[in-house]
Structures are given as C-alpha cells and as structure tokens.
Amino acid sequence: MIKRVLVANRGEIACRILRACREAGIEGVAVFAGNDSTSLFTELADISIELKGEGLTETYLNQEQIITIALENGCDSVHPGFGFLSERADFANAVIAAGLIWIGPSAEAITNMGDKMTARMTMKAAGVPVIPGVEVKGGLAEILEVAPSVGFPLLLKATAGGGGKGMRAVHSPDNLEIEAKAAMREALNAFGDDRVYVERLLTGSRHIEIQVLADSHGRTIHLGERECSVQRRHQKVFEESPSIALDAQLREEMGEAACEAARAVDYEGAGTVEFLVTPKGEFFFLEMNTRIQVEHPVTEMVTGVDIVREQLRIAAGEPMSCGELQIRGHAIEVRLYAEDPANNFLPCIGELAVFIPPEGPGVRLDTGVRQGDSVTPDYDPMLAKLIVWAPSRAEALQRMSRALDEFIVLGCTTNLRFLRELCGHPDVVDGWTTTDMIERLWPDGWTPDMPSIILDAGLLIASACESSGMGRQKRVNLSTTGESPSPFNTISRRFP
C-alpha cells in the first residue's frame, strides 16, 4: 500500500495530485521553491518542505535533493505530475534505486517513447501507422540530403522534444537549412540534444489522442479520445471529448492501436498516445506521453474515471478499477494562460488583483492560483484549466461560453478574451477544428475588438459592485449607440 507520496511538482497539477491522495487516504508531501512558499499547493499538502537553491535546476529539477527529502520525511513513493522530471528516465531509475515507488511507467518505457526516433521505429514494428518520414542520425548534412525525399511541406522535430520546442515547419527547400539550424539549436537548448528528424507535414489534420491505462495484472485499456486540434505555437488551447470526427469504428481502431503501442513497451500506468487524423480518416502515430496529461480532466468528465487515482492504484500493484469504456455526454477544456494573444501570445506577468472563476452545474476549474497571487516569468504561464460537461456538444459549448463570460481576471493580461471569441467562432461551433486553425482564422494575428484598458475598467467596476453585495442582477450594457454590440453584453454581473 502507498501511504505517503512526495509530489515532485508545483501549481495546479500538484494540487490535483494532492487532492487525489487525500481522497484515497494517502498523505501528500509537497516540495516548493522559495518563490512558491505561499502557493495553494503547499497548503493542500500534509507536509510541505522548502527546496534549497535558486532557479529550476537547483529546485524542481534537483533530483538528488527531491529524493533526499522523500526519504527523510518517510515517503514511500514519488509522483512526478507533468513537465519537470515526469519524463526523465534517469529520475525514475533514481527513485526506484532509492527504494521508493515510482508512480509512472518504467524507465525503459519512458526512454523508448521519449526518444521520438526510437518511438517511430518501435511503432512501425508493432504495426501502428506512423507519419511518413525519415529517422535522421547524421545531423544537418543528412537532414539536407533526405528532406527532398520526404517532400514539402515537411516538419522538423526534435528527437528528444516535446511541447512544440525544436519543431519547425518548412514549406520550401529555400528555407530548409535555416529552419534546420534553428530547430537543432532550440532542441539543444531545451533538451541538451540537437538531434532532429524529418516527417511529412500533414496540413488540415486533426490532433486526436487516446488515453490508455495499463496495470501489472496484464490489463491494458483505452478511455476513448480527446481532440486537441486547436493549438498555438504547437501547444494546446482547446480540448474536447469525444471528437465529432470519430465514429464508433474509427474510435475502436485508434483505441486498439493505442493499446498496441502501450503493450509494445510493456507500459504500466496512465499514458497518452497521440495521433494525427487526416480529412480522409487516416490516422498516424505522433508520439506517446508517458505521464498524466494536462487535458486529462475532459476524459474524467465523460468516463467518470479518476485517472490520478488509477495511477496510485496501479503503482501500488493493484488492478485498475475501470470497467468497460462508457462515454457519457461531452466535455470541453480551455486553458487560461497569462499571455497576450494580440502580441503573438507572448507570456505576461503581474498580480492577480481580481480572480473570480465561474461556478454552476457542470463546471470544473483546475488551478493552482488565487486572487492576490503574483504571476512571474519563472514558470509556465498556464494559470488554470476551465472544464465543462453537458449532455451534448452544443450544450457544452453554451455552458463554456457562459462560464467564460463569468470569469474575471484583472491585473495580468490573459487569453480570456481570446478564448471567449474562439469558443463562439462558427468553425469551432461547427467542429471544423484543425491543427492550423488559429493561423487559418487569424493569419495576421488576433486583435481584440476593444482596448483592454476599457474592458478591464468595466470588469473592475462589475467586480467591485458584486463584492459589495449592492444592487440587483442586471445585464451589463455600456453600448449607447446601438450600432454595434458591446462586449459587455456578454458579461452578467451585479450592478446597483
């Protein structure tokens, strides 16, 4: 039995894991850097220990210090969450060598799936369709040599990559060398490995991923799909389950392919197999994430499975508790980022002077921040994940729009207004979501229809009035000309 877990992470995923531990009767230990001392996750833990040092390398990426804290505080296991050390095979080995339980797949599975070229070759051997491409081993010279055989447009991808880093689209041979050097340089800086491989760029495709679970009792299952096609800079913004692009037959074919991918590396735990699906209904293996995914809540909402709780069961050697796959209703997730969509989605900093999340039936918020917290450049700019569930996709979109209308964040620029517009766009409503959607809809960049300072002032007034408890329910409307609808029309707040 697992009795005390050290959570080697921070923010909203640390909160998520600690809550799952509490519900399972397991004690949770948090580790935190000095600038996280007042963060929510430190308060949710049974024990919180400060990491010595400055910066990520000395704190959240310091394997030796984290394992020492686990041992000194009576932990029997380590959960890495996502990001940071979650896909580091050497960390998994170090945790196991210290006599602790690693809540994740084996180091061998992490290595085989973490190296993108090795993963491609493993999937080919397992009969899982892969994107046409070439595994490159000889560096820049070989990239320039093999690229024409792949054809343009093509995609250069870091072998050890993830999160869109070390990834470059090349539409013409004229740009190949420049983009290859840039991809290799970015890969080296991000992963300490400059290897890059070449594959066909499948334009107009959908990004579909399958959630898998596998235990030590020989059972491997899938929990259906998540569509994650809407992305900026190769990072997801809008996710949903199920996908309207899949019928029952294609869902089962992709689900079985994902299970075969997991079996090919003797996988145990929770993992996600990602595919690209073409307009013709062909699907190709993209990669496998050997950890819990950011977007796992949409699967939980439609299946009723607590994926983190299943991770704990599987790591303890217990059989998973899931029965046959049953998908109920529709779930949608959007990611709230501290970033400026009108400035190429660049990260932003500031204090969350006002942070009022939405409430109501079918609404879930996974976050690690609260009103008054500071947003710094030290960590990923994701502030929260807003998830809704409803009986149908149309109702889920309506619920998401309502929830976004009620969400107020002031003091730091976020993508909240962009999310409102995105969720109401006809292409999203009709389900025409593809990986190039944002670039297709806003080729010159997204521009808000009203200056932020005006909208923020209106929201601040609304927030102040509601906090004071004054007034009656009234629809905000600052448009006096009647010539065009005001964005305030979509924000329901209390006014005198």
pLDDT of residue 494 exceeding 50, the answer is: no
pLDDT of residue 488: 36
Separation of alpha carbons 210 and 252, rounded Å: 10
Does residue 367 sit in the same domain as residue 433? yes
What tokens appear for 155 in the block? 């995609």
pLDDT of residue 284 exceeding 90, the answer is: yes
pLDDT digits (tens, 9 = 90+) for 457-468: 555 665 555 555
pLDDT of residue 156: 92
117 within some domain: no
pLDDT of residue 461: 60
pLDDT of residue 38 exceeding 90, the answer is: yes
pLDDT digits (tens, 9 = 90+) for 146-161: 999 898 999 998 888 6
Does residue 301 sit in the same domain as residue 236? yes
pLDDT of residue 57: 95
What tokens appear for 205 in the block? 């495709």
Task: Name 175's Cβ contacts closer than 8 Å, sequence gap at least 6.
Answer: none
pLDDT of residue 483: 35
Separation of alpha carbons 231 and 154, rounded Å: 18
- Specify burial of residue 113 (Cβ count, 10 A radius: 0-12, 13-18, 19+): buried
For the full predicted model, state whether its pTM sits above 0.75.
yes
Catalytic site residues? 291
* DSSP element (H, E) containing 159: strand 154-162
110 within some domain: no
> Domain total for the chain?
4
Distance from first CA to last CA of the chain, Å, rounded?
A: 56
pLDDT digits (tens, 9 = 90+) for 377-407: 999 999 999 999 999 999 999 999 999 999 9
Closest of 200, 190, 214, 138 to residue 169, by C-alpha: 200
pLDDT of residue 354: 96
The range of the structural domain enclosing residue 161 comes to: 132-200
Beta-bridge partner residues of 257: none
Does residue 278 sit in the same domain as residue 308? yes
Does residue 468 sit in the same domain as residue 431? no
CATH of the domain at 192: 3.30.1490.20
pLDDT of residue 89: 97
Instruction: For tokens 């003091």, name the residue.
Output: 411
What pLDDT band is residue 191 in, cutting at 50, 70 and 90? Answer: confident
* Residues 437-446: b if buried by 16+ CB within 10 A, e if exposed: bbeebbeeeb
Please say whether the beta carbons of 383 and 336 come within 8 A: yes
pLDDT of residue 468: 57
What tokens appear for 126 in the block? 């397992």
pLDDT, average across residues 237-261: 96
Does residue 219 sit in the same domain as residue 180? no
Instruction: For tokens 């799952």, name the residue.
Output: 20
* DSSP element (H, E) containing 347: strand 346-347
Does residue 189 sit in the same domain as residue 298? no
What tokens appear for 102 in the block? 């690693």
Separation of alpha carbons 130 and 276, rounded Å: 9
CATH of the domain at 292: 3.30.470.20
Does residue 44 sit in the same domain as residue 149? no
For 247, other C-beta atoms within 10 Å of its C-beta total 11
